[in-house]
């Protein structure tokens, strides 16, 4: 876990050091990605609450961190809520958002996608199954011009 966080923070530092161009449009992949071997069995392996830490650098080189709670129902739908430190004015902390609907798919190899109702899909891999429920997940934002890594643990 510490190594993953170190690598994530290192990647963000490299992105900042390169001072990548600022005026890129934020767009989602087209066509949207999809799972090829998702089934009721694989969906059920991602179920319950996952608490996640997110570190992101957007297309303006703004770094933010978030605490994310993903709740999966084991059947391809769920909710996402987050608290972050990227408030544009006033206090830098923004309290937890209202839960937003998501859908998801999971392939037989543990790879898959989380589709928020707004924004681009999150590509991910789930692993470390205990009693047929994946205990860990690692996600990345597919939005062009963003670098976001999300590390999750089943609760």
> What local confidence, expressed as pLDDT, does residue 60 receive?
85
Low-confidence ranges of the chain (pLDDT < 50): 1, 4-24
pTM assigned to the model:
0.80
Would strands 147-154 and 47-57 be described as parallel, antiparallel, or unpaired? antiparallel
Q: Which helix (H) or strand (E) covers residue 84, if one does?
A: strand 77-84
Q: Which residues contact residue 75 at a Cβ distance below 8 angstroms, ignoring those fewer than 6 apart?
A: 40, 43, 44
Delineate the domains of the chain, giving CATH numbers in brackets: 2-154 (2.40.128)
Q: Which two tokens stand for residue 13?
A: 């530092």
Which residue is listed with tokens 């005026």?
23
> What local confidence, expressed as pLDDT, does residue 25 receive?
56
């Amino acid at each position: 876990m510490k190594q993953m966080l170190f690598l994530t923070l290192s990647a963000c530092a490299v992105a900042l050091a390169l001072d990548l161009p600022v005026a890129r449009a934020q767009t989602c992949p087209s066509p949207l990605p999809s799972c090829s071997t998702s089934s009721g069995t694989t969906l059920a392996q991602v179920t319950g609450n996952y608490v996640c830490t997110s570190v992101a650098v957007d297309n303006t080189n703004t770094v933010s961190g978030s605490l994310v709670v993903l709740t999966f129902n084991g059947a391809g739908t769920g909710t996402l809520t987050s608290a972050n430190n990227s408030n544009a004015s006033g206090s830098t902390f923004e309290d937890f958002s209202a839960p937003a609907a998501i859908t998801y798919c999971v392939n037989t190899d543990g790879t898959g996608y989380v589709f928020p109702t707004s924004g681009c899909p999150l590509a991910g891999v789930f692993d470390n199954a205990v009693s047929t429920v994946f205990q860990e997940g690692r996600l990345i934002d597919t939005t062009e011009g963003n670098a976001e890594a999300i590390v999750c643990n089943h609760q």
